[in-house]
């Protein structure tokens, strides 16, 4: 794979300050496909300085012109969508059709939505005898994970640019090639030098330097709770804005009146997509006791049908981690009805689509984020019981409710402590605010709520 051996800073690819590199591995065959530079404190500092220098002019650029640049960026992503899909497939391992439809397709939608929002958003508002201006927060430090490599970049960079902020991005060490492609796209789109900057590198080095840098006004992080907690603490100590998107343990609640076969099939597919590496995946399927055995049979069948259409996990560490959770599930008394520890292939970080039955709400596999193709079926006695189980984790990112009657599903969803709920298989909406209740995070991404994260208000009284 093609890779840059420098950092994209101030509108050009510049040599890295240090000599260390990161090997990029294809998780399908465990081969090294490229190397990228491992950024240091110096690289981060150079990038933040470039972003600061570019801030006044970009913040003063008319929203219509910012919108035009984001629209141009969207057009470059469209023109290069095959390359994007191939890059994500090479470094994440996602099957190519999924990379094309989701990993390339969704960022195009999101970039397009921000091109429109930048042009239409009310950056100025009259409130009584005041005029309230929505102004950019400033320099954004964006730290992204590998599971949706381009989506998570675009979900931060597009609204930041729309708001008039400038950005330094530290992408995940596992998926830097897609981030480099994005930097090329920003350049091609004619975004002014310094407005977007890329520093590849390791989390505890480049990521931490970015989160701690005093020239950064807002840190937007997506990833693990452990790292998010630290970033939140660092930002708090510096009285700096922070947005955290930290994963979940979402419930798929199937009420007795629902179309059971459809709810189970969509629910299993929701977990298996991207090999279960989706923070909003509905990894707990809640089924009424009267339908439980039927749901288990349907889920096992759906998972078995998935077979070898599933991609690998991103790396050896995640592979070992997910297998560890499967071992724990068995040890704690859950019943494997599909998949398990047997490897579907000899090479690569693959885990079979796995279904656990007889899972109780307290088990580790029902409480912790597994981040692999593992779904747990939990039985409930009545609606209150279902609600207690659904709300009974530290997370609250997403969820689903299925019922014969939409109003019944909505009534249940309104009682869930979670940020997004799909009703009877509702479709993805790139304008809907995405983010967590409880320990799933702070702040929202996407749509106008996502844009507001990058704005601060100033009011003038007359």
Q: Determine, following the binding rule CB under 6 A, whether residue 21 of this chain makes contact with ligand NAP.
A: no
Of residues 204 through 243, those in contact with Mg ion by CB under 5 A are none
Q: What are the DSSP E strand ranges found in 347-398?
A: 354-357, 374-380
Which residue, among 208, 215, 234, 235, has the nearest Cα to 165 in the 3D structure?
Answer: 215
CB 387 within 8 Å of CB 412:
yes
Residue 348 binds which of ligand NAP, Mg ion, none (CB < 5-8 A, kind-dependent)? none
Q: Which residues are catalytic?
A: 245, 279
Other C-beta atoms closer than 10 Å to the C-beta of 187 total 17
Residue 222 binds which of Mg ion, ligand NAP, none (CB < 5-8 A, kind-dependent)? ligand NAP
Q: Determine, following the binding rule CB under 6 A, whether residue 202 of this chain makes contact with ligand NAP.
A: yes
Record the tokens describing residue 264, joined without a space.
């189970």
Between 230 and 262, whose beta carbon lies closer to Mg ion? 230
Output the smallest distance, CB 5 to ligand NAP, in A: 18
Q: Determine, following the binding rule CB under 6 A, whether residue 245 of this chain makes contact with ligand NAP.
A: yes
Q: Determine, following the binding rule CB under 6 A, whether residue 223 of this chain makes contact with ligand NAP.
A: yes
* Gap between the Cα atoms of 67 and 121, Å rounded: 10
Q: Determine, following the binding rule CB under 6 A, whether residue 207 of this chain makes contact with ligand NAP.
A: yes
Q: Determine, following the binding rule CB under 6 A, whether residue 222 of this chain makes contact with ligand NAP.
A: yes
Output the smallest distance, CB 43 to Mg ion, in A: 19
Residues 124-163 vs ligand NAP: string with x where CB under 6 A? Answer: -------------------xxx-x----------------
Q: Determine, following the binding rule CB under 6 A, whether residue 247 of this chain makes contact with ligand NAP.
A: yes
CB 204 within 8 Å of CB 223:
no
- DSSP lists the bridge partners of residue 37 as 21
* Gap between the Cα atoms of 216 and 210, Å rounded: 7
CB 189 within 8 Å of CB 69:
yes
Sheet of strand 12-15, all strands in order from the earlier edge strand to the far edge: 12-15, 6-9, 196-198, 166-170, 139-143, 218-222, 241-245, 441-442
Of residues 265 through 304, those in contact with ligand NAP by CB under 6 A are 279
Point out which span in 197-205, 246-254, 322-330, 394-402 binds Mg ion (CB under 5 A): 197-205
CB 77 within 8 Å of CB 104:
yes
Q: Indicate the SS3 state at residue 151.
A: helix
- DSSP lists the bridge partners of residue 142 as 169, 220
Between 1 and 202, whose beta carbon lies closer to Mg ion? 202
Point out which span in 199-207, 268-276, 395-403, 433-441 binds Mg ion (CB under 5 A): 199-207
Residues 364-383 vs ligand NAP: string with x where CB under 6 A? Answer: -----x-x------------
Q: Determine, following the binding rule CB under 6 A, whether residue 84 of this chain makes contact with ligand NAP.
A: no
6-9 and 251-254 strand pairing = unpaired
CB 172 within 8 Å of CB 144:
yes
Sites of contact with Mg ion (CB under 5 A) = 203
Contacts to ligand NAP by CB under 6 A: 143-145, 147, 170, 172-174, 202-204, 207-208, 211, 222-224, 227, 230-231, 245-247, 279, 318, 321, 369, 371
């Amino acid at each position: 794979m093609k890779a840059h051996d420098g950092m994209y800073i101030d509108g050009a690819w510049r040599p890295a300050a240090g000599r260390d590199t990161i090997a990029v591995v294809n998780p399908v065959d465990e081969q090294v496909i490229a190397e990228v530079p491992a950024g240091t404190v110096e690289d981060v500092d150079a990038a933040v300085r470039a972003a600061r220098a570019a801030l006044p002019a970009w913040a003063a650029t008319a929203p219509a012109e910012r919108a035009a640049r984001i629209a141009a960026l969207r057009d470059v992503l469209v023109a290069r969508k095959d390359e994007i899909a191939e890059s994500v497939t090479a470094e994440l391992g996602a099957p190519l059709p999924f990379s094309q439809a989701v990993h390339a397709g969704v960022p195009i939608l999101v970039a397009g939505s921000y091109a429109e929002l930048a042009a239409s958003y009310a950056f100025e508002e009259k409130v009584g005898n005041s005029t309230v201006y929505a102004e950019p927060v400033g320099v954004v430090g964006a730290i992204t994970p590998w599971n949706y490599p381009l989506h998570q970049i675009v979900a931060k960079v597009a609204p930041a640019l729309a708001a008039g902020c400038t950005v330094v991005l530290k992408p995940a060490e596992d998926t830097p090639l897609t981030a480099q492609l994005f930097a090329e796209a920003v350049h091609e789109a004619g975004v002014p030098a310094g407005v977007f900057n890329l520093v590849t590198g390791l989390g505890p080095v480049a990521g931490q330097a970015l989160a701690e840098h005093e020239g950064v006004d807002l840190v937007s992080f997506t990833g693990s709770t452990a790292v998010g907690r630290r970033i939140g603490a660092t930002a708090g100590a510096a009285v700096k804005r922070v947005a955290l998107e930290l994963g979940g343990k979402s419930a798929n609640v199937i009420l007795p009146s629902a179309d059971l076969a459809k709810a189970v099939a969509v629910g299993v597919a929701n977990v298996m997509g991207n090999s279960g590496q989706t923070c909003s995946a509905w990894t707990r399927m809640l089924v009424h006791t009267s339908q439980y055995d039927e749901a288990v049979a349907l889920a096992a069948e759906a998972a078995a049908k998935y077979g070898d259409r599933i991609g690998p996990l991103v790396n050896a560490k995640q592979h070992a981690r997910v297998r560890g959770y499967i071992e724990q599930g068995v040890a704690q008394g859950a019943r494997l009805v599909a998949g398990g520890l047997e490897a579907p292939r000899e090479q690569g970080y693959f885990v079979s689509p796995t279904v656990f039955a007889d899972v109780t709400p307290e088990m580790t596999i029902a409480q912790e984020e597994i981040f692999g193709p593992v779904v747990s079926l939990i039985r409930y006695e009545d609606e209150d019981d279902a609600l207690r189980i659904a709300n009974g984790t530290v997370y609250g990112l997403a969820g689903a409710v299925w019922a014969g009657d939409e109003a019944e599903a909505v009534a249940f969803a309104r009682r869930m402590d979670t940020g997004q709920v799909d009703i009877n298989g509702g479709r993805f909406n790139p304008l809907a605010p995405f983010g967590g209740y409880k320990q799933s995070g702070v702040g929202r991404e996407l749509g106008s709520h996502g844009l507001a994260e990058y704005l601060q208000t100033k009011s003038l009284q007359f």
